[in-house]
Amino acid sequence: MKFMADAQIANVSRFLKKNEVDCETVHQRMRGDELSQVSISDPEIVAFLMREKARGIEITLICNDEDLAGHCRVQGIPVMFIPELVLESVRRLEQE
């Protein structure tokens, strides 16, 4: 399975990659570079993920942007929304 981290959380990509998870930043996957100063819009990200999915390459987006996560969900693109993941972890800890 492949993962792609939004530019806001590039450190997640580095951490996962270091732990042998196929994860790159949006800029790495889409542009082949790390020039995060170059803006990539949410519609461009969603379109890229949809094209990849049509080619049989499913990439899960990891992001901290609620609008971007929502667009992915509407298009049937797998997405991990960081605040939801944190909330799930907090709730589990509260139950201990």
For position 50, which CATH number holds? Answer: 3.40.50
Contacts of residues 65-70 at CB distance under 8 Å and 24 or more positions apart, as own/partner, are 65/6, 65/8, 67/42, 68/6, 68/42
Residue 74, amino acid: V
Find the domain containing 26 and state its range: 2-95
What's the whole-number mean pLDDT along residues 15-32? 95
pLDDT at 33 exceeding the cut of 90: no
Q: Over pLDDT 90: what percentage of the chain?
A: 89
Euclidean distance between CA atoms 18 and 38, whole angstroms: 25
Give the number of domains in the chain. Answer: 1
Q: State the pLDDT at residue 36.
A: 80
Q: pTM for the whole thing? A: 0.91
What's the whole-number mean pLDDT along residues 35-44? 89
pLDDT at 80 exceeding the cut of 90: yes
Identify the helix (H) or strand (E) that includes residue 47.
helix 42-54
